[in-house]
Structures are given as C-alpha cells and as structure tokens.
Structure 1
C-alpha cells in the first residue's frame, strides 16, 4: 500500500472518486484498505486539511466539475463514492429536503428517462427549497455522464451515504440501477441500501447512516456489511445502571459497542499521541460525562447526557459546544471542559494525528464520514469481505506527509484559483500544516 507523499504522481492509479469529499472520511478509509482516491470538495478549509493529509483533491463545485471539467477525472477511476450535503434532510436542520422527498423521487425518474436537464434544473429552482436538496441528484448525474461520454466506462461500483431520511431516495436509485432503463442504456447493477448504525462497526459514537452500494452486474452480489459490535440503546431509561455494567463478560462483552473512554484511552496510549486526557482521569481511571449542545424530546432545555462508559452522541459540526464534566460537583459548579479537535476526530475514528487544518475544524470533523464505517462499507463493496484486523489496527495512526507533497496537491487542487468555487479563496490563506 502506497502512503500519501510517496514518490509517485498523486493521480496515478486513482480508483475511487469521492464527491463532496469533506476532510476525507471515505478517502482515509480507502487509504487504509490500499486504494487510491481523489476527492472533489467545495470548502477551502476542508481542502487544506486534505492537502496536509496528502489526499488528492479538486477544490471545485461538484456540479461545475461534472459539466465543464469531467475529462480531468483520471480514466482509472472505477468507483463513484460520496455523501451529498445532508443539512436539508437532517433532523437537526429545517427539513426542506425531507418535505420534498416525493418531489425529489420524481426528479430522479425524470433524469433517467432522458428529459432535458436544463428543464429539470429550472423546475428544481422553482421549488424554492434549500438548494442543497438538489445535490442528492449529483451522483446519478455523474453516473449518467460516465455512461454517455465517449471513451469512458460505467463506474464498476457505487457507494453513497447520507442521513437516514434519504433512504427512500437511495431505494429509488437502487431500483433504477437494477433496471438499466432510459439513459442507463442497458447498464445494470446489483444494488441495495440499508440503515447502518456506526457503533455496530466499532465507532465510539451513535450515528445512523443510509448507505447505498451498487456493483455492475457480473461483478458479484451486493452484501450488507456485517456488524462487528452490538447496538447501543439510545432510549435507555434514566437512572438505570450504565449499559456497560449490565452486559455479560467474556466473548459477548468483547463485541459490545466501544465507549468514549475506551477510544480516547487507546488513542492516548499510542506512540507520539497527540491525545492527552489526563485532565479527565480520576484515580487513574478515565471518567466523565457529556452534556449535549442539543435538546431532546423536542425540548431545547432538556440536554441529553452520555457517560464516558458509553458511546458519544452523534459528532456534529457543533461538537465543540458539548460540555464535558468530570463529576456532578463540577456540573453543579459549572466547571466544564470541551473535547479538542483531535479528540473529536478520534470519536469519529480518524487517526489521532490526522492533520486538521484551515478554519471551522469542528465543522469539518462533524461533516465527515467516520473512516471506520467507511472501511467496512468500501471493503465489502470492493472486495466482498470485511476489512482485516491488521487494516483496522493500522487505521489509528496517519503517515507523515511532507510539506512538498501538500504543496503539490495544492497546485493540483487550487493551482488556478479562477477555477475554484467563487470566493473560495477570499479568506486569508491558511498556514500549511503537516502531520507530525
């Protein structure tokens, strides 16, 4: 497996195209599985993190890239992956996308049927919903472009993820991909979609994602990734003992979900670790509780709690607003702490030394796909197997990336800033950071 920064051209043998790539959750997963990827990302801050991490990137708008720069995508790409922005579908947002689900389904069918895309774009604009809602159509548009463009082959594998509210749209995707109708020109896929809980794949956090996997007919059946851990009961009663104390010991306990304390303890014990949680230890034991920034059960004042012996809440872009307390006495005295960016990244299963860069780092962390979940999904989609124990073990530490590699990737992604998103470089240039 080549590491970021090795002496090969960054775009040689790229197999995976990651749309809406963010700081690199799926790309990090691909790296530890031994696959090279390239991402398209609109946000300059996320791009700076990607450059520092050695991840090939186009700083571009996904739609513009498809319309005017499609030929710049390496011909070696055979996997289309990505997670369109979820804000309009997320329960934490205003929900315009959720309200428009049936309408979006119609647009999916219209795209495949061959209707003029300019008419579709005009009708989408006329809806007056959050414009990010339309981005859920982009993976389909990229697939159709690859099928229709001379000299390109259809993507062999498609992997998409989003919030659970999008599952009905992925189901429509899957039905159409299996049909080969209209603009698909007889190209058929084996396709399926599911809701996956991140804590069941070793992520120390409760987060549910809607995942679609499709493979060209003849490439093998599509199988649901196999869970490696037990689910966490987010509806447990208050006042009950922590679930960790109620589970049996032995082999069954080894498969339970991973707690915040376990994940942070393991990260802090790694050689050269950037994680120091000594402030959260009492009597040699990591012990704390987290009070969420969000309310629960419709009451904004009813802040949820999680013990350190439990998985974290869903890590969002507001993760730095969650308050961490060592004890009830600290809570009463309003003596709170916060998770650092590196610690929040670990709760997302990024390597402890991942080189978060640019501004809005908490937002970058929250927007990302948890790499460990990505490893399970990509490995099952591309190889038909789960990631190996060795691959999972290696995924805790990111390789050092020379500054020259970051500069080379920046030249690829932002070399001609006129091609970057409008106002994408309006902010003051961030200082380059490399992994320690």
Structure 2
C-alpha cells in the first residue's frame, strides 16, 4: 500500500527521493525558487510556499511528516546565532508543547525559529496527527530534537533521537546528522547501521564483519578514475590545513561550497571540478537528477542524503519489533 506524506522545507528532493524508495508519496513545501525548479524538473509534487502559510488540514491524507528545517544559523560554517540561542529554542519548544504561542521574531535570525515549525504541524491539530515523523538537522541542533521528543511523548508518540553517520547508511560521504524519528502506533528505534564507520587509515575491508564496507567516492564516480580531493572546508582558509582524501575514501561533508573543491590526478595535475551530477551522487542522488535553477551547489549541500532519508523513513513507518524479526 502507498503511504501519504507531506515534506516540509523539502529542498531539491532528498527526503522525497528516500521516501519514494519506501513507497511513501506526497508533496513537498519549499519556498526557494531554485530548489522548486529542481523539484519540478524531477517530477516531484511541489507547493511553492512558506510552510508557515500551511498546516495539517491542508493535507488530510498525509500520515507521515518529514522536515529538514534551515540549518544556516546552527551549522559551524554559519554565523552561529541559532547555536547561541539553543536554550531559548528549547524553551520555545516547551511552550509550544504547552499550547503557548511563540513568535519567530523573538530570535536574532528569523530562520532560527523555523526549526519550530514541524512541532506546530505535529501537535497543533491532533485530529490530523501523523503516524510517523522524520526530522533531520545538523548535529548542533540535537538538543532541539531532544526537547521535541519530550513533547511528542506527552502526545503519545514513541520517539528516538541521536546523531547518525551517513556513511553507515550507504552514502559515499562522511556527514553527521541529528535526527528524530517518531511513531504513534508502535515502538520506534533509530535505523541500524548497514555499513561500517569510516576511520582514517583503516582499510575499507577491515572492521565489523556483520556490516558492509563503507562506500568510496570512486565507487560512486567510477568514470573518474583515481583522483584526490583537496578540501578547504573547515580550514579557515589556511592552505596548510587543507584536507585531502583519495577517491578510495568517502567524500568530505558535502556543503554548498562543493563546486570549489580541487581534484588532482595521481600525478598531481588539476582535473575538471565536480559536475552537479557528480556532486549529487555524493549525496546519494541518482546521476540523472535534473538539477535546475540557480545556486545548485547550495541546493546539493543543503539536501538530505537520499539513502539516509530512506533509512529514516523505514525506521519511522515500520514498528521496531517488525524490524528486529526481519533482521
């Protein structure tokens, strides 16, 4: 049977694509013109709007709610105003849970308050409640999801939160995400890892024999041949701190600056930089995903990796006991 969902802050379709792999269908709400262009080119049902202008009653068939709110104020690469206001955000979550109003302009950056929107959708109209909820954000936002969990449990949900490593779910990239999965009609657990964690210097074939090897950039981009990526991410611009990984390793965390990465061949000569299709593959998207509009690098960097999305959707829509029996 097909399950209906609604995806908030849907971006270019990472959560949608993962959901479709689990036969979960439904529209995404996205306000960014460029991300909307990509979604529509991919044939994803899309509402070009601010999520604050809609609510559960606009999607009465949806039983699954997913969201990846804007991360710019929480991420290490951003200004950090969201991180600085974590205590106030957690308090706002508690107020929402108690039925009190919260104004987004209470925060230094209005985007920070958007992390509260999924909770409004989940509890403001319980007659239109959801059987399953999936949320993802940067690791720094985990305290917000933990506060969400307390509220959702008060509303009858089983909830699990934590930080997951994307390479353990089939993404050829090391990326950590704070996640929440909740289920109304059964116990829920975080998805169990399928692949081994990446450890620098530890060969791909070594590690827990019950887990599959992590995936490398070379496996995602076999047409490229051997190469080395030179990253400026997280170095503060200091050339001496630039990280390097070979194509036999997973990619660094994909960000909106991925188009700036340098690629070198085994002799140290410059290679063409990653195309949108190749960068998308490192996020788990199909090679033919029709990236459209502007700011494509930013779209790719902001997306939820599709294999992680599929694992989260499965965890939220399948009772934990069923998963254990299947295993």
Q: Within 2, Cα distance between the matches of 1:260 and 1:34? A: 28
Residue in 2 that maps onto 1:201: 169
CA contact 1:230–1:255 (8 Å) conserved in 2: yes
Change (3 A) 1:343 1:258: same
Post-superposition Cα deviations, 1:24-66, rounded to whole Å, max 9, x if no partner, equal 1011111121121210001111111111111111000111223
Alignment equivalent of 1:373, drawn from 300, 308, 313: 308
Structure 1 position 144, deviation (Å) = 2.5
Residue in 1 that maps onto 2:217: 260
Post-superposition Cα deviations, 1:213-271, rounded to whole Å, max 9, x if no partner, equal 1111xx111112010111112xx4xxxxx5337x449x939712100001112xxxxxx
Residue in 1 that maps onto 2:268: 329
Check if 1:61 corresponds to 2:50.
Answer: yes
Matches for 1:51-90 after TM superposition, within 5 Å: 51-66=40-55, 71-73=57-59, 75-90=60-75
Alignment equivalent of 2:119, drawn from 137, 140, 163: 140
Q: Within 1, Cα distance between the matches of 2:89 and 2:317? A: 29
Matches for 1:335-350 after TM superposition, within 5 Å: 335-350=270-285
Structure 1 position 293, deviation (Å) = 3.0
Equivalent residues, number: 320
Structure 1 position 354, deviation (Å) = 1.2
Residue in 2 that maps onto 1:164: 139
Residue in 2 that maps onto 1:397: none
Structure 1 position 356, deviation (Å) = 1.3
Change (3 A) 1:22 1:197: same
CA contact 1:294–1:300 (8 Å) conserved in 2: no
CA contact 2:181–2:315 (8 Å) conserved in 1: no
Structure 1 position 327, deviation (Å) = 2.7
CA contact 2:30–2:47 (8 Å) conserved in 1: yes
Q: Within 2, Cα distance between the matches of 1:313 and 1:166? A: 20
Check if 1:31 corresponds to 2:11.
Answer: no
Residue in 1 that maps onto 2:193: 227
Structure 1 position 71, deviation (Å) = 4.0
Structure 1 position 192, deviation (Å) = 1.4
CA contact 1:293–1:318 (8 Å) conserved in 2: no
Structure 1 position 153, deviation (Å) = 2.6
Post-superposition Cα deviations, 1:306-328, rounded to whole Å, max 9, x if no partner, equal 11000001111111111111135
Residue in 2 that maps onto 1:311: 250
Unaligned runs of 5+ in 1: 2-12, 181-187, 237-241, 266-276, 281-285, 387-436
Q: Within 1, Cα distance between the matches of 2:94 and 2:203? A: 47
Tell me the TM-score normalized by structure 2: 0.92
Change (3 A) 1:78 1:295: closer
Q: Within 2, Cα distance between the matches of 1:111 and 1:79? A: 20
CA contact 2:159–2:189 (8 Å) conserved in 1: no
Q: Within 1, Cα distance between the matches of 2:194 and 2:42? A: 28
Q: Within 1, Cα distance between the matches of 2:194 and 2:22? A: 17
Decide which moves more: 353-362 or 130-139: 353-362
Unaligned runs of 5+ in 2: none
Q: Within 2, Cα distance between the matches of 1:192 and 1:158? A: 10
CA contact 2:57–2:128 (8 Å) conserved in 1: no
Residue in 2 that maps onto 1:427: none
Change (3 A) 1:79 1:170: same
Residue in 2 that maps onto 1:300: 238
Residue in 2 that maps onto 1:49: 38
CA contact 2:196–2:211 (8 Å) conserved in 1: no
Matches for 1:165-184 after TM superposition, within 5 Å: 165-180=140-155
CA contact 1:170–1:193 (8 Å) conserved in 2: yes
CA contact 1:49–1:358 (8 Å) conserved in 2: yes
Check if 1:92 corresponds to 2:27.
Answer: no
Structure 1 position 157, deviation (Å) = 1.0
Q: Within 2, Cα distance between the matches of 1:61 and 1:254? A: 41
